[in-house]
Homo-oligomer: A and B are copies of this chain.
C-alpha cells in the first residue's frame, strides 16, 4: 500500500475522550475511528489487523474440524424465552427494537439459542454427532459504561464456537482440543507468554469454567497466580475451599489484573435441554445432546495486543498480525527510485511511505503505526547495495543486502 494514496493520516493528538492506551494509540495511528463510547469503525490498517487475527483463529479451528457459519444479529424472542434469557432481569445488556410488522426483536449479545435451534434441523441420530460450528460475528451489548477503547465494546467482534456431542467423554475430548487450539492462537498472535488458562466460576453443570486471561495493567479482572503460573484463578474462585481442591492455600499466590481474551464452557444440557436438541442413541433411546461453547473476543484481542506492546513512540505489532510487515522509505533520488523497484510486486507486504514529507516525519509515523520492520534505502545504503533495516520491537538496525531483503 502506498501511503500517498490512502486517505488515512496519523494524528498528532490523542482524542481527549480516549483514556485507554489502545483507543488513543489506535486512533492516532489511523487504525480505528470512534462512533461513540464502545462503538468503533475499523480503518484500512485496523481492518487488516482484525483480518489477520481472524485468519489465525480460523486456521486453528479448522484444524480441529470446526465449520464456519455466519448467523444473524436480529433475534426472534421466542427462542430466548424458552431459556428465560430474553428477560432484561436475566440478561441486562440487551439492545431491543421493534419490528414494523409487529413484535419485539433483540440484537444478539451471544448466539447459543439460535445456534442450538439451527443445528436441530440436522441432528436426529448419534450418527450425526459430534460436530463443531463457529462464526465471527458482531455482538451487541448494552453496557452502561464503555471507556476502555476496543477492550469493552457495545458492538464488538467475537468468535464463538459451539460443539455438540453424544457423551460427556466426547465433549471432554473436544474441550481439550480447543484448549490446544487456544494455546496456539494466543501464541501465534504474540500473547503466548502472558496469557494463562484461568479457573473461573462454572455454570450450572460444571464446577469451573476456564477463562484465558492476559496479564494487563488495565485488565478488568483480578486474578491470582502461583510462582510458575501453573495455577491461575479468577478472584471469584480464589478461596480456601477451592484452593484446597488443588492442594494449595493462599500463600504463594500473587495478585494481578488480567484482560479476559477467551473463555471455554462445558454447557452440558444448559441449552440443548430447554430447546429440545435430542438424538437417538445406538439403542434407539432418545438422549439430550452434550454441548460446549468457546469464545474469543476478536476486537478485544486486537486492543490487548495494542496495549501490551505499546511504547512511548506508538504501537508495536507482532509480525503475525501486523497490517504490513515492512515500512519502506526511500531517501535521495537513487534511493527513491530503488524503493519504487523494491515495492513493486510486494504491495501486500510493504507499506510504502512515498509521501512528499520529511524523513523524520516518516520515521515517526512508522513507529506510531508499529510496523515490524522499517526499511530505508538511501543513496548511502546503495553504496553497499543494501538497505538499513530497523526492528520496531528491538530498535536494532542492521544493513541488509538488497538481494537478501525479504528472506
Interface residues of A (CB under 8 A from B): 5-9, 11, 33, 35-37, 39-44, 47, 50, 65, 67-76, 93, 95-101, 105, 107, 114, 118-119, 121-123, 128, 131, 133, 138, 140, 142-145, 154-155, 164
Report yes or no: A41 in contact with B74, Cβ–Cβ below 8 A: no
> Residue of B at shortest CB range from A356?
B127
Report yes or no: A7 in contact with B70, Cβ–Cβ below 8 A: no
The residue that A69 contacts in the complex, of B9, B41, B98, with Cβ under 8 A, is B41
User: With A5-B65, A7-B131, A119-B7 in contact, do A70 and B97 touch (Cβ < 8 Å)?
Assistant: no
* Cα A27 to Cα B76 with chains together (Å): 19
* Cα A128 to Cα B121 with chains together (Å): 53
The residue that A144 contacts in the complex, of B101, B122, B142, with Cβ under 8 A, is B101
Interface of A is mostly: mixed
Q: How many copies does the complex hold?
A: 2
User: With A44-B68, A144-B100 in contact, do A121 and B33 touch (Cβ < 8 Å)?
Assistant: yes
The residue that A142 contacts in the complex, of B5, B99, B154, with Cβ under 8 A, is B99
User: With A5-B65, A43-B69, A114-B35 in contact, do A121 and B74 touch (Cβ < 8 Å)?
Assistant: no
Nearest CB in chain B: distance from A1 CB, A? 8
Report yes or no: B119 in contact with A74, Cβ–Cβ below 8 A: no
Other A-B contacts than A42-B69, A73-B73, A97-B142, 13 sampled, CB-CB below 8 A, are A5-B131, A35-B72, A36-B76, A44-B67, A47-B68, A47-B69, A47-B70, A73-B138, A74-B155, A95-B97, A95-B105, A99-B154, A107-B107
Report yes or no: A97 in contact with B96, Cβ–Cβ below 8 A: yes
The residue that A67 contacts in the complex, of B6, B9, B122, B142, with Cβ under 8 A, is B6
Report yes or no: B122 in contact with A35, Cβ–Cβ below 8 A: no
* Cα A128 to Cα B3 with chains together (Å): 11
Report yes or no: B70 in contact with A50, Cβ–Cβ below 8 A: yes
Nearest CB in chain B: distance from A161 CB, A? 13
User: With A75-B35, A100-B143 in contact, do A9 and B47 touch (Cβ < 8 Å)?
Assistant: no
Report yes or no: A35 in contact with B76, Cβ–Cβ below 8 A: yes
Q: Which residues of B contact A142 (CB under 8 A)?
A: 97-100
